[in-house]
Amino acid sequence: MYINIHTHILSKDPSHIEFYNVDIRKGDDEFSKGHFRCVGIHPWWIQSFSGYNLEKLEALLQGREYQCIGEIGLDRAFKEVDFETQCNFFRFQLEFAKKRKDPFVVIHCVRAYNDILKLVNEVGYEGVLIFHDYNGNEQITRELIGRGYYFSYGIKLFNEQTKGFKSFTLIPLSKLFFETDDSSLKIEEVYLRASKLRGKTLDEIKSRIKENFEELSA
């Protein structure tokens, strides 16, 4: 069994458990996809919801079956939406996750780790964060490990020049997940690559990720 903790593209492979990222711009059919779902307003999607008030945004996010808010976050490389607006949308959704008592949220973060940690502290969200497509340096990685957060890897495992790749071996296996995101990668390829990098058998990696998922979902 392979757990894909974050994907926008379903494989429909019966050996996969897929955590689907709902695109609420596409309507209610999205909420029937995947084995598990997260829903949120990605920082790249904010312009599609810029005319909404908070009540209307909250109505979009509630009343449907999904496991957590996500992916949400901040992206300093994305200039089409100003950073203050990104922060406002992130804060609102984090407050909603707090209200729902979500045990975790899925995070999109590009060059904004300290900003995210600051807002998490300000909102008082007490669940854990899963940093998907993780790409932090050694210093921020150690800080996030200390906070008990999780890290999800996919395509970064195949690019040795990235900060995320260089940080990979610092992260305890108990805090790892794997994903395909919106790439053409197969989750089997990601698991196999991770097993080689960590010097573990494929079965050991699969067993550990299953345990992580069960602990997170408990």
Listed in order, strand segments (DSSP E) in 46-158 are 68-69, 72-75, 104-110, 128-131, 150-153
- Is 71 labeled as ligand-binding? yes
Of 68, 10, 73, 7, residue with least CA distance to 44: 73
Does the annotation place 35 within a ligand binding site? Answer: no
Place of tokens 């969200």: 125
Alpha-carbon distances, residue 98 vs 91, 126, 176 (angstroms): 10, 7, 23
**CA dihedral for 112, 113, 114, 116, sign (positive or negative):** positive
**E strand or H helix that includes residue 176:** strand 176-178
E-strand ranges in 59-113 read: 68-69, 72-75, 104-110
Please count the CA atoms within 13 angstroms of the CA of 38 that sit on its side-chain side: 30
Residue 4 has which token pair? 């894909």
Question: Residue 41 phi/psi, 5° resolution?
Answer: -105, 105
Annotated binding residue 16: no
Annotated binding residues, written as ranges, equal: 71, 108, 132, 181
Annotated binding residues for a divalent metal cation, written as ranges, equal: 71, 108, 132, 181
